[in-house]
Chains A and B, each alone.
Chain A
Amino acid sequence: MPDEMGRAASPADEGYAGFEGKDRERSFRAALALLPHMSPVSLPRMMSMAGGAEELWDLLRRGGERATALVGGEKAGEWSRVCRRTDPWDSLEKLARRGIRVILPGEGSVPDVLWKIYDPPALLFARGREMPKGMACVAVVGARKATSYGRRCAEQLAAGLAEGGVAVVSGAAYGIDACAHRGCMQAGGFTVAVLGCGIDVVYPPGNAGLLAGIAESGCILSEYPPGDEPQAWKFPHRNRIIAGLSLAVVVVEASSKSGALITADFALEEGREVMAVPGPIGHPLTEGTHELIKKGAKLVTGVEDILEELPPEAVQRPLDGRQGGQKGMVLRDGGVSPLEKKILRLLGEEAGTLDRLSLRAGEEPREILVALTSLVLKGFVCQDAGGLYALSPFIPRGILS
């Protein structure tokens, strides 16, 4: 169509006159990222070779030898056709209509530290609320199949970080990630989920509710264009963004092959703090975290261990000596009965099933059950799959003495 062809005839044409500066750059980058089969990995490289987003768009639109040399014959042909019938400004508007923003490098809506990493993304798609300016981020990551201990740790640490005015970054996966997001949201904090798929794709499906919650009170980021399917290779790649956004990465429960260790590796390369939460030795889910600690990661037993490593200006509301994470706990009745105390001591030695506890305490199972319910409600004991009862992390000191 002549009109459309005319509008997209050249970057210098009047069709582009309606927008200038940042928005102009933004629309070209968005249009480039939305090209079919465009990989976010190669986009920055192509842009630097062409000399900029607008130049790359122009080059691809015209096609020809230079485009073929840059992207290969097949893609050059396809993209040339797509570029000719696309108005970059339109693609930005379409995204905006779906509530998706495009964040460019150097923009304040994400921490500046992200753009200083080795291979920063060419742009980020964002959904949800705008991140408060100058807010620091800490990543809390870990195993998908976590124990109740790990989940509780993640929740409590995230809540503590939220109370310290720090945003919690994670990957919206099952297990530790989900708990970190949830703990932060429950404490009224700002949480950031970085996805390894399109920003509007609900993955994993079971976290639909969680993602909706994050979109409401926090924000969701992804470098993949909307609608992009989740694929295994995308997740390690997105971990560099999780590490890049954060001043520190806290690993809660990770097996020796966990993806959380990849995040920790990126964090080390970029000079971020790496911290890990310890657990029982010999358990598969502590192999990764203990290995990190052996290599020098900071051992975390409370949120203050994380906050004291951050620059003072990053922590907006210092915790004034209060033990982190404690505030969220409901402690109707601080006291424990003698039997409850006995059970807590036994669990302190070793987590156990009801049978083992009943045998070791020398009490009827039904008495133990009653005491356990009370301890669970007080938040001192948590239950795991397989009927296992374990001591919760963060029980107030002095309760056992």
Chain B
Amino acid sequence: MYARLDSCSILGMEVIGVEVEINTSGGLPGIHMVGLPDAAVRESYRRIKAAIANSELPFPRQLITVNLAPAHLRKEGSYFDLPIALAMLAVCGRLESSALRGRLVVGELALDGKVRGVRGALAMALWARRRDWEEMVVPAENLAEACLPGGIRVVGVRNLREALDHLQGKPVPQPEVSVKESTRSFPCLSEVKGQLHAKRALEVAAAGGHNILFIGPPGSGKSMLAERLPGIMPPLLPEEVLEVASIHSIAGLLDPGTALSASPPFRAPHHSISHVGMVGGGRNSPRPGEITLSHRGVLFLDELPEFRRDTLEVLRQPLETGKVTVSRSLITTTFPARFLLVAGMNPCPCGFLGDSVRTCCCSPGRIRNYYRRLSGPLLDRIDIQVEVPRLTPRELVELPGGEKSDSVRERVVAARQRQRDRWGEGSTTNANVETGRLYEACRLGEEERRFMYLASEKIGLTARGFDRCLRVARTIADLAGREKVSVADLAEAVQYRSLERIRGSWLLQEVGYAG
């Protein structure tokens, strides 16, 4: 006897279609599972046997061969419990083989016959819609998630019996899909007192997609500012929403029962993270790392110099190209990773260099080493660097909160629109447009050029620093709605090169951060 059923699985960031085939033949009862199953898949046999028995359904007493095709790809996870069980029931004659056709089935089985949720249902539903599948059977837990993309019939099942009923054409009660409005909202910018300089820098960063570094003593509000960045970023475009949701679904981070959220994701990994945790990886089937989870959103790295150097160095390629390719012995996967990097660091190891109240107790050599932990190529990719001074208690009370996130976001959205009009559709921003097009779009007049020469001479801007300044100035002009980049825009942009200045003047050239 032979039966086949379609299912799918996740490999890296990709959904792959898997055909589940079952054949029974004479011989001692037993099972062969072929098609590169991993441990979780091989164990499914025992779950299926118990689940079928506890659902009071028949189990084939023959030699069973289960094949998961295509045979050359490794199969992972517990997606195939339900399809294999249904195929076995078909082999026992409880299902017509025609009932197995035209639908995708995924689900994990519990020993009592219940169907458990799986990760990646949203990504699978998206994939199924693209491949013109008519129907998808998913665990009831994943129903809301799988319904989000739309354009495909999705049936949720609570247990094996319900799945059987559905395939036999009997009606199955569908749980109420209550899609809550997204409750993810970010704290408001007006809650941060003072720090006008840093807030303005944050606005410029959001508008132009510039990476940003806050340098300030402990308690100056670096993390507070960073957490408020997604709240002033433009909402995600519809296709971006699905892209982000599908990544989070594969990572198992999607909150069941929540609508798609148009707010950009925000990730803040601790500095003990490994480089695999950062860029993604894993032995056989690479899982997305933090930079992919913050795709189209914000990656906040607090205490930047405390991160392991190799973890920071792997950020260089994704910061440039917006994606990362992870190669393992069996598979090579490309993860999307276009994120906005927000980093925080202290001005020195003890944190109080330049503080108005406490004195710093670090030796010049220690401070030098602290800055040396950050490589030049990484810092070159951070367009905006601002110092965030600590406020006195009096200032905390007296200083105004300033603008609300909503009104800042309006300006940011308008500035992004101008960039889209200029650079064309897509995710090109002032921060990542090619240099040639940038120079074309901000032709400097005689006065502007003279200013930049003077600035490079006086502040010690490097060639790359000059390029980054121009990008930031372009964004400042966009925020103001000006087509031409003026001296004032450049002058403001120059102020966002704190590190260049620290390197150039604090202890003078002695603090060479690039070593």
- Verify if B462 is at the interface (C-beta below 8 Å from A): no
**Min CB gap A208→B, angstroms:** 10
The reply to whether the CB of B228 lies closer than 8 angstroms to some CB of chain A is no
CB distance from A205 to the nearest CB of B (A): 8
Q: How far is the CA of A193 from the CA of B457 in the complex (A)?
A: 27
A377 in contact (CB, < 8 A): yes
Pair A385/B386 contact, Cβ less than 8 Å = no
Q: Is the CB of B455 within 8 A of A373?
A: yes
Residue interface mask A344-388, B partner, CB < 8 A = 1: 000000000111001100000110011011101101001111111
Question: Which of A183-230 touch B at CB < 8 Å?
Answer: 204-207, 209-210
Which residues of the partner chain B approach A175 to less than 8 Å between Cβ atoms? 364, 507
**If A206-B364, A386-B356 touch, does A377 touch B458 (CB 8 Å cutoff)?**
yes
Quick check: is A148 within 8 A (CB to CB) of the other chain?
A: yes
Complex Cα distance A206/B513, Å? Answer: 11
Whether A148 pairs with B510 at a CB distance below 8 angstroms is: no
Query: Are A353 and B197 CB-contacts (below 8 A) given A178-B508, A383-B505, A386-B353?
Result: yes
Which residues of the partner chain B approach A205 to less than 8 Å between Cβ atoms? 365
Q: State A174–B454 Cα separation when bound (angstroms).
A: 27
Distance between A365 CB and nearest chain B CB, rounded to angstroms: 4
A174-B364, A206-B364, A359-B399 known; A179 vs B196 contact (CB < 8 Å): no
Q: Is A144 an interface residue (CB 8 A)?
A: yes
Determine if B418 is an interface residue (Cβ-Cβ < 8 Å).
no
Q: Which of B252-260, B375-383, B494-502 contacts A (4 or more CB under 8 A)?
A: B494-502
Task: Write the nearest CB–CB distance from A34 to chain B, whole angstroms.
Answer: 29
Contact of B510 among A178, A374, A379 (CB under 8 A): A178
Contacts of A148 in B (CB 8 A): 505-506
In the complex, chain B residues whose CB is within 8 Å of the CB of A330: 454, 457-458
Nearest residue, chain B, Cβ from A385: B354
Q: Is the CB of B509 within 8 A of A209?
A: yes
**B-chain residues with CB within 8 Å of residue A359 when the two chains form the complex:** 399
Q: Does A37 contact B (CB under 8 A)?
A: no
Q: How far is the CA of A249 from the CA of B485 in the complex (A)?
A: 50
Q: Does the CB pair A366–B360 fall under 8 Å?
A: no
Q: Is B488 close to A, CB under 8 A?
A: yes
Size of the A side of the interface (Cβ < 8 Å), in residues, is 40
The residue in chain A whose Cβ has the minimal distance to the Cβ of B360 is A145
- Cβ of B506: which chain A residues have Cβ within 8 Å of it? 148, 385
Q: Report chain A residues within 8 Å CB of B195.
A: 355
Cα distance A179–B508 in the bound complex, in angstroms: 8
Q: Is residue B464 contacting chain A, with contact meaning CB distance below 8 A? A: no
B404 in the interface (beta carbon within 8 A): no
Once the chains are docked, how many angstroms separate the CA of A348 from the CA of B216? 25
Bound together, the chains give a CA A206 to CA B508 distance in angstroms of: 10
Tell me the nearest residue of chain B to A356, going by C-beta: B395
- Contact in complex: B364, A387 (CB < 8 Å): no
- A366 proximity list for chain B (CB < 8 A): 200, 476, 492
Give the nearest-CB partner of B488 in chain A: A370
A182 on interface, CB distance cutoff 8 Å: yes
Also in contact, A374 and B491, with CB within 8 A (given A358-B196, A386-B217): yes
Of all chain B residues, the one with the shortest Cβ separation from A382 is B505
A332 interface residue (CB < 8 Å to B) = yes
Give the chain A neighbours of B355 by CB distance below 8 A: 386
Q: How many residues belonging to B are interface residues under a CB distance threshold of 8 Å?
A: 47
The answer to whether B455 touches A377, judged by C-beta atoms less than 8 angstroms apart, is: yes
B339-392 interface with A by 8 A CB criterion: 347-348, 353-356, 359-360, 364-365, 368, 386-389
The A311-326 residues at the B interface (CB cut-off 8 A) are none
- A387 near B508: Cβ-Cβ < 8 Å: no
Instruction: Give complex CA distance A39, B347 in Å.
Output: 40
Check if B459 is an interface residue, CB within 8 A of chain A. Answer: yes
A151 within 8 A of B: yes
Residues of chain A lying within 8 A (CB to CB) of residue B509: 206, 209-210
Binary CB contact string for chain A from 117 to 157 against chain B (1 if under 8 A, 0 otherwise): 00000000000000000000000000011001001000000
Given the complex, which residues of B lie within 8 Å of A6, measured CB to CB?
none
Check A388–B494 contact: CB distance below 8 A. Answer: no
Decide yes or no whether A284 CB sits under 8 A from chain B: yes
Asked whether A377 and B347 contact (CB < 8 A) given A386-B353, A387-B388, the answer is: no
Question: Are the C-beta atoms of A206 and B512 separated by less than 8 Å?
Answer: yes
Contact A204 B492 (CB under 8 A): no
In the bound complex, do residue B347 and residue A369 qualify as a contact, i.e. CB atoms below 8 Å apart? no
Q: How far is the CA of A366 from the CA of B203 in the complex (A)?
A: 12
Minimum CB distance partner of A388 in chain B: B354
Most B CB within 10 A of own CB, among A358, A370, A385: A385
Known pairs A145-B364, A358-B196; A373 contacts B502 (CB<8 A): no
Contacts of A382 in B (CB 8 A): 505
Do A369 and B364 form a contact, CB below 8 Å, given A353-B389, A377-B455, A385-B502? no
Q: Does B194 contact A (CB under 8 A)?
A: yes
CB distance from B325 to the nearest CB of A (A): 38
State whether A387 touches B510 (Cβ < 8 A).
Answer: no
Q: Are the C-beta atoms of A387 and B200 separated by less than 8 Å?
A: no
Task: Annotate B410-447 by CB proximity to A: 1 below 8 A, 0 otherwise.
Answer: 00000000000000000000000000000000000000
Per the 8 Å Cβ criterion, residues 179-221 of B in contact with A are 194-197, 200, 216-217
> Which residues of chain B are near A178, meaning CB under 8 Å?
507-508, 510
| A373 B495 Cβ-Cβ under 8 A | yes
Chain B nearest CB, measured from A20 CB (Å): 46
Residues of B within 8 A of A355 (CB): 194-197, 389, 395, 399
Residue pair A376, B459 in contact (C-beta under 8 Å): yes
Q: How far is the CA of A387 from the CA of B220 in the complex (A)?
A: 12
Contacts of B216 in A (CB 8 A): 386-387
- Whether the pair B508, A151 counts as a contact (CB closer than 8 A) is yes
Would you call A377 and B454 a contact (CB within 8 A)?
yes
Q: How far is the CB of B401 from chain A (nearest CB, A)?
A: 13
List chain A residues, Cβ under 8 A from B364.
144-145, 174-175, 204, 206
Q: How far is the CA of A339 from the CA of B488 in the complex (A)?
A: 13
How far is it, in angstroms, between the C-alpha of A234 and the C-alpha of B387 when the chains are bound?
38
Asked whether A332 lies within 8 Å of B454 as measured between CB atoms, the reply is yes
Q: Which of B353, B455, B491 contacts A370, CB < 8 Å?
A: B491
A387 to B488, CA, bound (A): 20
Answer whether residue B250 sits at the interface, using C-beta atoms and an 8 A cutoff.
no
Is B511 on the interface with A (CB-CB < 8 A)? yes
* Chain B residues, CB < 8 A from A182: 508
Measured between beta carbons, the chain A residues less than 8 angstroms from B196 are: 354-355, 358, 365
Which chain A positions have C-beta within 8 A of B387?
385-387
User: Which residues of A lie under 8 Å from residue B494 when comparing CB positions?
Assistant: 373
Least CB distance from A220 to B in Å reads: 17
B512 / chain A contacts, CB cutoff of 8 Å: 206
Question: In the complex, which residue of chain A has the Cβ closest to the Cβ of B398?
Answer: A359
- Quick check: A385 and B353 within 8 Å, CB to CB? yes
Q: What distance in Å separates the Cβ of B368 from its nearest Cβ neighbour in chain A?
A: 5
Separation of A370 and B492 alpha carbons in the complex (Å): 5
Chain A residue nearest in CB terms to B498 = A387
Selected contact of B365 from candidates A206, A370, A383, CB within 8 Å: A206
Query: Which residue of B is nearest A353, CB measured?
Result: B389
Given contacts A145-B507, A388-B356, 19 further A-B contacts (CB under 8 A): A174-B507, A330-B457, A353-B197, A355-B194, A355-B399, A366-B476, A366-B492, A369-B200, A370-B492, A373-B491, A374-B491, A385-B348, A385-B502, A385-B506, A386-B353, A386-B389, A387-B354, A387-B388, A388-B354
Interface pairs A-B: 7 shortest CB-CB: A386-B354, A385-B354, A387-B387, A206-B510, A373-B491, A354-B197, A365-B196
Q: Can you list 20 residue pairs at the A/B interface with Cβ under 8 Å?
A: A145-B360, A145-B507, A151-B505, A174-B510, A207-B510, A330-B454, A330-B458, A355-B194, A366-B200, A366-B476, A369-B197, A369-B492, A370-B488, A370-B491, A373-B492, A377-B459, A385-B347, A385-B353, A387-B354, A388-B389
